[in-house]
Structure 1
Amino acid sequence: MADKPEEPERGALAPTDEELTLTPSETLRIAVDLPPAPPREVPADEAAVAIDDVPVDPGFVASPTEPTTTSVAIVASRLATGPTPTTETSGTTPAQPAAADVPPPAARDGVSRRDRLRGETSPQPESAAMLTADRLLEVNRKTRPGPEGTWQRFVYNTTFHGVNLGDSAKVRARKELDHRIQKQFEGGARFVPVLTRKGGVGKTTVTTLLGMALASAREDRIVAIDANPDRGTLSERVPKQTRATVRDVVHKAASIGGFTDFSALVSRDETRLDILASDTDPLLSEAFDENDYNVVADLAARFYSIVLTDCGTGIVHSVMRATLQRADEIVIVSGGSVDEARLASETLTWLEANGYGELVSNAVVALNTATQGTNLVKLEEIESHFRSRVREIVRIPYDPQLAAGSVVSWKNLKPLTQLSARTLAALVVEGLPAERD
């Protein structure tokens, strides 16, 4: 065999066919230096794609009799404007879009406050409750209200409204509590029964305080219904303006066409709380059953945002089932004695055993400290017990006006009593659903 010719140097010209003769078993190698290719620029309207790395086993070769398929997800880059493209084969599930491509909740549900300031409109119809003063009024020297507080007001007037130090800490706390009570609702009335197994613990008093605190802070209508199967005393806590009772509402239900007709059957106090009295005749009060309550509740739901129900003594009377079926939240009233606290706890046990566990976990306990034996009992231990079963607990302090058992004047209550009632109202409102079908 002839000697193998030497390979030409890199960059040298290769010999021609006449000068080079190779046998079939010999190999010719030629090295050529080429300039690097310029990178290709992707047009702006062309979406780039990224293919996830798929591990490949070089020693594995698919059998012709057992074909296999592999699905590779192709995710469009941020330049893409259409839906996420995917490449899939049989037996696989579509690839999920990347988390970065999912629009934020504000973009899906509507526009944010910043978007509204830019003039953008919401894709969903807005309710009238969204037209608030905070949204519509531009805060400046003219529209900003004057401060509340002795020193703050003095500085404000002395400087001819030039220096506004803002409200005092006490006023800010009051306005914050007002804001919590003024939570807006959509989708019908909210029902809040006030109940306990024992009488004489101040359940009617708590219903009155809760209703007054709600009515004094909110702009919508609040009504308290006396559903006591015995003779209730709820109507005696406000100045009586009518002798009508729940029985009259049942009889006149077909003729009640608007709020004017219904308002003629209730009594209203200085806070705008409406009270619907119970029957005063014991013979008639026994006839007030769950069907009658449903009639009254249906009418009240047409005209009021929050309906309080004074359920009377006990929890097994005929009206209780209809009351609990409509309840969005419950308030349990407990006294400060051992017996009263135990019966209030047994009320929670009865509710849990009868399928109202969700109401129990969301309940608020009003601990009336004006009952007998309160000074001899460790109230902290009672609160610790109820805190393990319900959502919140509020103490109702002793007040001479409440102890008299007569008409209650909201403005004449002690500041601590008003604060307790407003705290109870805020906790109750926070436990109610804001929206409902």
Structure 2
Amino acid sequence: MTPDRPEKPLEDDAENGVLADTGSLDTTGLGIMGNTTAQVSVSFPEESADDFSDDDVVDDEVPYAAAADVSRPFVVTIDTAEGEIIDDVDETPAVVDDDVVTVEPVVAAAPARPEPVTRPAAAAVERTTYPVADVALTSKRLGEFEPDRETADLLTADRLLDPHQVIRPEPEGAWQHFVYSISGRRINLGDGKRAKARKELDRRIAAPLAGGARFVPVLSRKGGVGKTTITTLLGMALADARDDRVIAVDANPDRGTLAERVARPSGKTVRDLVRIHGDVVGFNDLSNIVARDETRLDVVASDSDPRVSEAFSDQDYEDVASIAAHYYSIVLTDTGTGIVHSVMGATLARANELVIVSGLSVDEARLASETLTWLETNGYADAVRGAVVVLNNARPGLPLVKADELEAHFRSRVRAVVRMPYDAHIAAGSAITFRDLQPETRQAARELAATVVEGLRTLAPAA
């Protein structure tokens, strides 16, 4: 036991918040073991709105302790055996024994409190509750921050990088590369005209298409003009330059040959895709049916059995188109010559842009022009104005017709006209390898792809 506390002047006791006379309260020094109590002086800080907890509001009533002057000093008796301190509560115990914790106010500045009661330490202690403070959360705009402070988004490459220190890519072009080499890579004249044109064409073909899949049917009312060839070349040029997926569907009900124009046939047909269309849950299910070219063009072949291929209907095309639209950005459709066939109706209903193929002969040109007329008179006038006509030269040598006159005629009716030159690699009728084509053929195919993409970027996605 510690000796009795010496008496101090009253003014000092009031200042320090310690009672001069503890009355009948028996207090002892803090001990290591046993049920001992200690009397200490506690001064509570001033209360602020941020200290309130909305969990302590009961029935929208603010308890007494919230309205009291919580800055007053208190003498708190601590039960050192239990190691607990009870905060200021509504009911202040006044009797102290081995199982009772006592809290006594020292300064009488607070309003009158309820009569003290004695409560066993094992009983549940009711916590002090406080009112909820409404805190308005606001966000700052860029202009509301301090003028001398900058945010991380202001650290852009254009601001930080020295253009004279940025390493430019190695130039393309014979003269440009020669100067770059003999100067020790210090003089970079940039790409030559041909390289710039090629990269610009790549940029046009690879332009992004926002939204859903786009459908581009390739039409011709006359067989043998190269409709399947144009579909293949267009698909290869698109797939070779774009990062998204491109697929060509052979919707010819009369035994199409689109799959024979790619070097890696899968052996599966559009009939297999129709059969499992309800069970396709991922791209792997589809990749087992399509044939993929080295340019990453996917192809769905038509039925090889003519007795089955005639059964390919508009509903079958809808099933295939719905699956293709889920996994591909551009869907090319190689159509048959029967423009009134039910498959043609389903194809035109989904079309975003039309590609019409015409040969370089009088009758082929007339049939192509009549195809445009039929479309205009059957509700597709807008599609005709945005269409692309391809003048395909499928025979060696100079054409018998005046190509310039033929081009002028179609330009008066459609958005663009592209000429496809003769290529012996295509005329052989075997699989087409895009890199083995003549440079003029690859260039024409890429021009066609860029023209189609530019048209698709101005149109809404297919429904």
TM-score category (smaller protein): 0.5 to 0.7
| Structure 1 equivalent of residue 334 of structure 2 | 310
Moved more, 152-161 or 276-285: 152-161
Moved more, 329-338 or 309-318: 309-318
Higher relative contact order (CA 8 A, sep 6+): 1
Q: Any residues of structure 2 matched to 1:49-60 within 5 Å, and which?
A: none
User: 1:200 and 1:134, CA in 2 relative to 1: closer, same or farther beyond 3 A?
Assistant: farther
| Structure 2 equivalent of residue 370 of structure 1 | 394
Aligned counterpart for 2:444 among listed residues 420, 427, 437: 420
Aligned counterpart for 2:349 among listed residues 309, 325, 329: 325
* Alpha-carbon shift at residue 370 of structure 1 (Å): 2.0
Alignment partner of 1:211 is 2:220: no
Moved more, 154-163 or 355-364: 154-163
CA distance in 1, matches of 2:344, 2:460: 23
CA distance in 2, matches of 1:225, 1:333: 17
Contact persistence 2:259–2:265 (CA under 8 A): no
CA distance in 1, matches of 2:371, 2:183: 59
* Alpha-carbon shift at residue 136 of structure 1 (Å): 12
CA distance in 2, matches of 1:216, 1:239: 15
Aligned counterpart for 1:388 among listed residues 404, 412, 415: 412
Q: Any residues of structure 2 matched to 1:142-153 within 5 Å, and which?
A: 142-153=166-177
User: 1:399 and 1:120, CA in 2 relative to 1: closer, same or farther beyond 3 A?
Assistant: same
Alignment partner of 1:345 is 2:353: no
Contact persistence 1:185–1:435 (CA under 8 A): no
Q: Any residues of structure 2 matched to 1:23-422 within 5 Å, and which?
A: 119=153, 141-371=165-395, 375-422=399-446
Cα deviation code 1:130-154 (max 9, x no counterpart): xxx9999986545421101111112
Contact persistence 1:196–1:203 (CA under 8 A): yes
Contact persistence 1:185–1:434 (CA under 8 A): no
User: 1:312 and 1:372, CA in 2 relative to 1: closer, same or farther beyond 3 A?
Assistant: farther
CA distance in 1, matches of 2:460, 2:197: 30
Q: What fraction of aligned residue pairs are identical, expressed as a percent? A: 62
User: 1:148 and 1:298, CA in 2 relative to 1: closer, same or farther beyond 3 A?
Assistant: same
* Alpha-carbon shift at residue 312 of structure 1 (Å): 1.7
CA distance in 2, matches of 1:204, 1:135: 51
User: Secondary structure of 2:232's match?
Assistant: helix
User: Secondary structure of 1:209's match?
Assistant: helix
Aligned pairs, how many? 310
CA distance in 1, matches of 2:313, 2:422: 34
Cα deviation code 1:296-324 (max 9, x no counterpart): 00000111110000002231111011101
| Structure 2 equivalent of residue 100 of structure 1 | none
Aligned counterpart for 2:457 among listed residues 409, 433, 437: 433
Contact persistence 2:216–2:331 (CA under 8 A): yes
* Alpha-carbon shift at residue 433 of structure 1 (Å): 3.2
CA distance in 1, matches of 2:339, 2:363: 17
User: Secondary structure of 1:275's match?
Assistant: strand
User: 1:353 and 1:137, CA in 2 relative to 1: closer, same or farther beyond 3 A?
Assistant: farther
Contact persistence 1:240–1:267 (CA under 8 A): yes
Contact persistence 1:192–1:329 (CA under 8 A): yes
User: Secondary structure of 2:456's match?
Assistant: coil
TM-score (norm 2): 0.64
CA distance in 1, matches of 2:403, 2:173: 35
TM-score (norm 1): 0.68
CA distance in 1, matches of 2:166, 2:153: 24
- Letter of the structure 1 residue corresponding to residue 210 of structure 2: E
Q: CA RMSD in A?
A: 2.4
CA distance in 1, matches of 2:230, 2:159: 36
Contact persistence 2:388–2:452 (CA under 8 A): yes
CA distance in 2, matches of 1:351, 1:249: 29
Unaligned segments of structure 1, at least 5 residues? 1-116, 122-132
CA distance in 1, matches of 2:278, 2:396: 46
User: 1:378 and 1:135, CA in 2 relative to 1: closer, same or farther beyond 3 A?
Assistant: farther
CA distance in 2, matches of 1:335, 1:140: 53
* Alpha-carbon shift at residue 384 of structure 1 (Å): 1.1
- Letter of the structure 2 residue corresponding to residue 242 of structure 1: S
- Letter of the structure 1 residue corresponding to residue 278 of structure 2: A
Cα deviation code 1:261-315 (max 9, x no counterpart): 1111111111111111000110111111010000000000111110000002231
User: Secondary structure of 1:376's match?
Assistant: coil
Contact persistence 1:337–1:371 (CA under 8 A): no
User: Secondary structure of 2:185's match?
Assistant: coil
Contact persistence 1:199–1:314 (CA under 8 A): no
Contact persistence 2:172–2:191 (CA under 8 A): yes
CA distance in 1, matches of 2:163, 2:284: 38
Unaligned segments of structure 2, at least 5 residues? 1-150
User: Secondary structure of 2:299's match?
Assistant: strand
Asked which structure has the greater CA Rg, the reply is 2
* Alpha-carbon shift at residue 118 of structure 1 (Å): 9.7
